Amino acid sequence: MTQTHELPVLFLHDQVALPGMTLPIELDDEARAAVDAARAAGGEQLLLAPRIDDTYPTVGAVASIEQVGRMPGGAPAAVLRATDRARIGRGVAGPGAALWVEAEVIEPGAPTERTRELATDYKRLVVATLKRRNAWQVIDHVESTTDPHALADLAGWASYLSPQQRVQLLEETDIDKRLEVLITWTGDHLAEQEVSDKIATDVREGMDKSQREFLLRQQLEAIRKELGENEPEGADDYRSRVEAADLPDEVREAALREVGKLERSSEQSPEGGWIRTWLDTVLELPWNHKTSDRTDITAAREVLDADHHGLDDVKDRIVEYLAVRGRRAERGLEVVGGRGSGAVLALVGPPGVGKTSLGESVARALDRSFVRVALGGVRDEAEIRGHRRTYVGALPGRIVRAIKEAGSMNPVVLLDEIDKVGSDFRGDPAAALLEVLDPAQNHTFRDHYLELDLDLSDVVFIATANTLETIPSALLDRMELVALDGYTEDDKVAIASTHLLPRQLERAALTSDEVTIDDAALREMAGDYTREAGVRQMERMIGKILRKVATNLATDKAEAPVLVSVDDLKDYLGRPRFTPESAERTAVPGVATGLAVTGMGGDVLFIEAAKPSTAKLQTASAEGDSGPRLTLTGQLGDVMKESAQIALSYLRSHGSEHDVDVSALSGPIHLHVPAGATPKDGPSAGVTMVTAFASLATGRPVRSDVGMTGEVTLNGRVLPIGGVKQKLLAAQRAGLTTVFIPQRNEPDLDDVPDEVKNALDIHPVSDVAQILELAFEQAAHSAPGAQDAPGAHGAA
């Protein structure tokens, strides 16, 4: 049976009273009116209604007045104890100035089994929460509370519940729902507490570790001071090192700014490590240190001549550089940090001619430091310009590292294999080299890691490459090109006896008194065993001979001294790898010998032309399939394919002028350029193709001692080509005696060694007709009208 009471109302603005709670209330005018009204009615009970967020509640707590007195500070107060929930009804009239309402007391229902289970779960969570706070007395009180209603209303004291949540608990009359809500809220709070405690523990442990490390570092520093082994680690030391270093003014200012940042950063900050690494790099660079160049030009030339045979172009360029620099110094015109006081050379030539070793010789001739920077396969622009300091593990570029390694600002830097530089999504290193190799810009080269101007104007850059095709034109324009086209046979013999043989004797632990290789054997090795532009393979052959000699001496199969002659080469090296083949290849009509340039130097190129037999042509015509007019094989590039079309069109148009049967070229023709596995391109085989087609049509073989090169036009004009020196060297190595070159390439003969020019009969021509007059054998090898047979032989 419900009970209804008429009670004065006391609104609580900052707290919520739940049954079982005892609250001290300061008696302001509103509270005193409610308390006085309750006392005047004789029941000494009032209704506590929460007023949170200015909303009027529907449920309040019936409270009795336990005591009226004063606070410790003297303010009047009353102690109220809430006993029951009551639903707030309509307003009524009552004594005093307070607001009176009807209050219907809500009786708590009897607990069910479900209620007791919820109460047990809630109690477990509350105890767990209190244990984290070490509130053992409160835990005892909670454990002794068995009434589910009283246990749920204890949540009024929970500090982790908001006033809105307490109002929700007060207005919820169903004990099961009230416990379910409390279980959810308490579980969430417990989980948050566990996470917070773990974070606090981690932070505390981290602080303890930092404090321990700080104390250990302080102790370590004190121990080092006592032992006299104090190491420069702090920011104060960096400041003193920067101030004592010989740095340019702008570099010193930048370094001091970084020292200031280091002083403001903590020991544990990762930025401190980055700043230290940057400062170490700056302090290790030789900003104002330069070596003195050798002033004796004659002595410098002697150094170059002692290290390398030939290569007069690059030697002359280095001597000229020294002469000009010496005169400028004598007349007080030497520029410190100016523009164009260095040199940028590009040594281009086949492998084995001494490009890389020449860089070391130049450094010795100039009496400078030498650093080699390998660029082969580099695809990242940061390898040249460095990484930005924002990246983890950032480093300066290879140019800065080379300067640091050299220990001076004017070393000789060898940029090896510059033609092998690649590009991908990380940038183009060749583009980054544009500023490095530009004498007008490199006095203010800026590395991304340093972010400081670095003067490279006094550096002598020597770049090496095998071919020019893969070097960007803008980069090639910034370098002074010096071509190393290869050695003659005499050069190879001189190099082998002067340089290669002594070096290999030392490696094989032999002396010149124990082993001797005569010049005739060396010449045989150069001509029949290696046949290369350089001498790298020849040095390997010499090493192979010396190793076998050392083995024979160790096994008593030979006695010192050992003389290696031409007759002994077969025992040491086997049969010759290269034999003259021009006579065999050109013995049939339709084959001509051309000259080409590859990455390995000059080489001879045989061009073969053939046509199907008459029977095959008649069969194909009867079947309605005449096939293609010109078949091209041998991995030819587009330019070379066009040259073949031009050569055939020229003979079909002008063949009668040269006694060539044009009808013999009307059917299908097959042109092949061995070796088929090697890609080929370029226009310089045009005259060779014309000669091969003319030989096929006339049935006259081309002379076996003739080689030719040049681009041909539809009117028979012979246009200039490149690589004349390398091609003539290849012709001499192949045993040719007569060579046709374009007339406009005649000035290039000035660079050809006299030995080669004396060994070859060189004919500069302006029209392909001049070649057709001299290139064929004097007598035809086949009767007129029998051109089909030579074509069949050519195909074979």
* Residue 690 near residue 715, CB atoms below 8 Å: no
Nearest to 345 by CA among 441, 464, 455: 464
What is the identity of the amino acid at 488?
T
Q: How would DSSP label each residue in 62-125? A: EEEEEEEEE-TTS-EEEEEEEEEEEEEEEEE--SSSS-EEEEEEEPPPPP-HHHHHHHHHHHHH
CA angle 136, 139, 141 (to 5 degrees): 120
Q: How far apart are CA 790 and CA 356, in angstroms?
A: 49
Cα–Cα distance measured from residue 734 to residue 533, given in angstroms and rounded to the nearest whole number: 12
Q: Mapping DSSP to helix (H, G, I), strand (E, B) and coil, where does residue 47 land?
A: strand
List, as own/partner pairs, every contact residues 776-780 make where C-beta atoms lie below 8 angstroms and the sequence separation is at least 24, other chains included.
776/694, 776/695, 776/698, 776/700, 776/701, 776/702, 776/703, 777/700, 777/701, 777/702, 777/703, 780/698, 780/699, 780/700
Q: Which of 684, 695, 704, 725 is the catalytic position? A: 684
What is the edge-to-edge ordering of all strands in the sheet holding 669-672?
Answer: 630-633, 669-672, 601-610, 591-598, 706-708, 738-742, 761-765
* DSSP states of 190-251: HHHHHHHHHHHHHHHHHHHHHHHHHHHHHHHHHHHHHHT-----SHHHHHHHHHHS---HHH
**Half-sphere exposure of residue 50: CA atoms within 13 angstroms, side-chain side:** 23
612 appears as a binding residue in the annotation: no
Q: Is the peptide bond before 675 cis (omega within 30 degrees of 0)?
A: yes
User: Quick one: the chain helix, strand, coil %, rounded to 5?
Assistant: 45, 20, 35
Q: How far apart are CA 487 and CA 311, in angstroms?
A: 9
Query: Is 355 one of the annotated binding-site residues?
Result: yes
Cα–Cα distance, 336 to 747 (Å, whole number): 40
Is position 187 annotated in a ligand binding site? no
- Give kind and range of the element (H or E) at residue 172: none
Q: Which two tokens stand for residue 43?
A: 């029941």
Question: What does the alpha-carbon distance between residue 596 and residue 687 come to, in Å, rounded to a whole number?
Answer: 12
Is the torsion defined by CA of 750, 756, 760, 766 positive or negative? negative
Rounded CA separation 645/650 (Å) = 9
73 known member of a binding site = no
74 labeled part of a ligand binding site = no
d(CA 307, CA 317): 16
Determine whether the annotation assigns residue 354 to a binding site.
Answer: yes
From 123, 611, 680, 727, the catalytic residue: 727
Q: Which of 390, 412, 391, 394 is nearest to 403 (CA)?
A: 412
What distance in Å separates the CA atoms of residue 626 and residue 201, rounded to the nearest whole number?
91
Does 753 show up as a binding residue in the annotation? no
On whether 427 is known to bind a ligand per the annotation, the reply is: no
Active site annotation includes 198:
no
SS3 787: coil
Q: Which of 413, 394, 393 is nearest to 454 (CA)?
A: 413
404 is catalytic: no
| Number of residues written out for the chain | 796
Q: Which residues are catalytic?
A: 684, 727
Q: Which residues are annotated as a binding site?
A: 349-356
Q: Which residues are annotated as a binding site for ATP?
A: 349-356
